[in-house]
Amino acid sequence: MRAVQDSMDVLHGKWKIAVISSICYHNKRRFSDILNDIDGISNRMLSKELKELEINMLIKRTVYPTQPVTVEYSLTDHGNTLKTIINNLKDWGIQHRKKIVEG
């Protein structure tokens, strides 16, 4: 149970899995791209979630010295280990929606 609790502590909340998914499916994403991918998330909440994911070493923030500054987010090697879970959740969600719609 401790391992499951550790996982839930890192991935808890409404937005973290959606943020990881956005980055996962596109490899590198800018803040505005992630914001556009996720309906209903605010700038402030996205910023908070990105910081927490970075602290947990799941994503990497890369700042490019352009004018204006460009920031990209990508999964770390550790974050890439979540791809299987994300794909399984996606597949389950597709099947679940299909089952519910079909009755």
The domain tally of the chain equals: 1
Query: pLDDT tens digits for 51-83?
Result: 999 999 999 999 999 999 999 999 999 999 999
Distance between CA atoms of residues 54 and 40, nearest Å:
21
What is the pLDDT at residue 103? 77
* CATH number of the structural domain spanning residue 44: 1.10.10.10
pTM: 0.89
Query: pLDDT tens digits for 12-32?
Result: 989 999 999 999 989 899 999
Distance between CA atoms of residues 79 and 96, nearest Å:
26
Residue span of the structural domain in which 14 resides: 2-102
Residue 39 has pLDDT above 90, yes or no: yes
**Looking up tokens 């909440």, which residue turns up?**
45
CA-CA distances (angstroms) from residue 10 to 16, 35, 94, 103? 9, 20, 24, 34
Task: Please give the span between the terminal C-alpha atoms of the chain, in angstroms, as a whole number.
Answer: 34
